[in-house]
């Protein structure tokens, strides 16, 4: 959408007007064009995503606009407004403090091996039921990972270096202005690890935690023995009471930082040089940000995203984060023991659905598995690409009066004669279930071996 003079100006949507005003405030001059790109992220239970190019005669702004879901049931069940406000707090209050520190470190000579980026903040509208947030789009030089549970050693180490820089920048801000840090840190609302004294089934979040640990408890009875099963059963019995202590800001002092909160491969983008060496990492999606121990991000990322080979020994990656922190955390191992359970539960929640197929017996599905050590990462079921084409209509607050529509992507249907009695679907379900069960077992074993549980 563009215009040359006032008399020719078409009717604009509220979002278009806001993006235009943001561009003007950012120094964009002349004729301003607001163009919606068709390539975006798939919607989630919390947000719908739109990418805009806002272009003037002197420069262009690439924006990612996150629009909160408006369905009342989704908003209540998944704390949509609270997550939105958390993300607004992070981008509007924390990024202006953290990013200058990160940018300064990026210009050091010699430069840091891996440069970490967080998107810039452009603006937001927090009107209840019509919330949106505009931030910098880091593409295309920062690339999304396709295999979300198969990161190799190089990617894991790069992620640990990036997290260490991010956490260190938070500590630097905290040391410069501790009262400001504390005030902003307490603006975040916890939406994940919530204590419940009622039936867990009545709350979506606690139900997921309870179900994930229950699934892990059953899987460990088949795949693992001895201390593994005992510890995961102990977690299963106590997690819903203890989980708030894992995310406690006060308990993590003096090392509390602003943590990412949803720290796995889907929310990390990687930059490569011409030799395919990782030179930068961009962290996105801070809806679950909170002030807590940096170990929360470390354990969540490693257990959720590491390949099967890497899960056999996580110590080198934990040490990479520890050694890259500034200043050094004197009681790092204590934090792993105190707060590591968070990463275990967060990673298990990603996989619990894989053991819930009602018609597949656990022992039957795993009868041919002899040893977990025989597992190779190539046997895992892979995830779909993070970024794909999407279509459909825009929400009311985004939808313009004229033009600016999203081109619908053609739907490809594979034309094959179906297998008898749903055989093909059953086989796919069995493969996915088996892969998830093995992943759960590897997560529990890896966490135990580095004393997270």
The predicted structure's pLDDT at residue 211: 80
The predicted structure's pLDDT at residue 240: 81
The predicted structure's pLDDT at residue 158: 97
The predicted structure's pLDDT at residue 39: 75
The predicted structure's pLDDT at residue 374: 33
10: three-class secondary structure by DSSP: coil
The predicted structure's pLDDT at residue 105: 92
d(C-alpha 203, C-alpha 200), whole Å: 6
* The pairing of beta strand 115-117 with beta strand 278-283: parallel
The predicted structure's pLDDT at residue 418: 43
Structure token digits, residue 441? 């077992």
The predicted structure's pLDDT at residue 370: 28
Q: Which residues of the chain have pLDDT under 70?
A: 1-10, 195-205, 352-434
Closest CA to 193 of 247, 238, 261, 262: 247
The predicted structure's pLDDT at residue 8: 53
Beta-carbon contacts of residue 96 (< 8 Å; ≥ 6 apart): 121
Structure token digits, residue 186? 């307490």
d(C-alpha 404, C-alpha 20), whole Å: 14
> Residue 222: how many CA atoms within 13 Å on its side-chain side?
21
Beta-carbon contacts of residue 124 (< 8 Å; ≥ 6 apart): 88, 91, 92, 131, 132, 133, 134
């Amino acid at each position: 959408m563009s215009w040359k003079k006032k008399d020719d100006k078409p009717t604009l949507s509220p979002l278009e007007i806001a993006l235009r005003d943001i561009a003007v405030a950012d120094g964009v001059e002349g004729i301003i064009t607001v163009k919606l790109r068709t390539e975006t992220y798939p919607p989630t239970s919390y947000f719908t995503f739109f990418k805009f190019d806002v272009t003037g005669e002197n420069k262009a702004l690439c924006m990612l606009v996150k629009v909160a879901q408006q369905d009342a049931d989704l908003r209540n069940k998944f704390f949509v407004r609270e997550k939105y406000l958390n993300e607004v707090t992070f981008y509007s209050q924390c990024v202006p403090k953290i990013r200058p520190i990160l940018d300064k470190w990026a210009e050091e000579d010699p430069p840091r091996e891996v440069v970490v980026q967080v998107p810039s903040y452009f603006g937001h509208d927090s009107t209840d039921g019509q919330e949106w947030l505009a931030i910098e789009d880091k593409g295309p030089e920062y690339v999304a990972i396709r295999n979300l549970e198969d990161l190799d050693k190089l990617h894991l180490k790069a992620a640990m270096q990036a997290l260490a820089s991010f956490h260190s920048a938070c500590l630097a801000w905290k040391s410069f202005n501790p009262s400001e840090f504390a005030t902003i840190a307490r603006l975040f609302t916890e939406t994940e690890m919530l204590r419940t004294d009622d039936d867990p089934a009545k709350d979506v979040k606690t139900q997921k935690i309870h179900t994930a640990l229950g699934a892990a408890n059953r899987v460990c009875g088949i795949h693992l023995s001895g201390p593994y099963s005992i510890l995961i059963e102990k977690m299963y019995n106590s997690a819903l009471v203890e989980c708030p202590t894992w995310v406690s800001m006060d308990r993590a002092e003096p090392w509390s930082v602003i943590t990412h909160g949803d720290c796995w491969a889907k929310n990390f983008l990687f930059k490569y040089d011409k030799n395919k060496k990782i030179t930068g990492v961009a962290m996105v999606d801070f809806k679950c940000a909170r002030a807590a121990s940096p170990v929360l991000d470390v354990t969540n990322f490693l257990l959720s995203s590491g390949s099967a080979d890497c899960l056999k020994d996580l110590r080198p990656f934990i040490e990479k984060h520890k050694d890259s922190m500034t200043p050094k955390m004197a009681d790092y191992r204590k934090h792993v023991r105190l707060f590591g359970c968070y990463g275990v539960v967060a990673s298990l929640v990603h996989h619990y659905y894989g053991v819930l197929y009602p018609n597949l017996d656990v022992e039957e599905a795993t009868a041919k598995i002899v040893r977990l050590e025989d597992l190779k990462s190539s046997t895992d079921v892979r995830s779909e690409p993070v970024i794909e084409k999407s279509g459909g209509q825009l929400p009311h607050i985004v939808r313009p009066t004229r033009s600016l529509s999203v081109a619908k992507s053609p739907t490809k249907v594979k034309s094959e004669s179906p297998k008898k009695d749903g055989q093909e679907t059953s086989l796919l379900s069995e493969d996915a279930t088996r892969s998830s069960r093995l992943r759960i077992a590897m997560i529990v074993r890896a966490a135990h071996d580095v004393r997270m549980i």
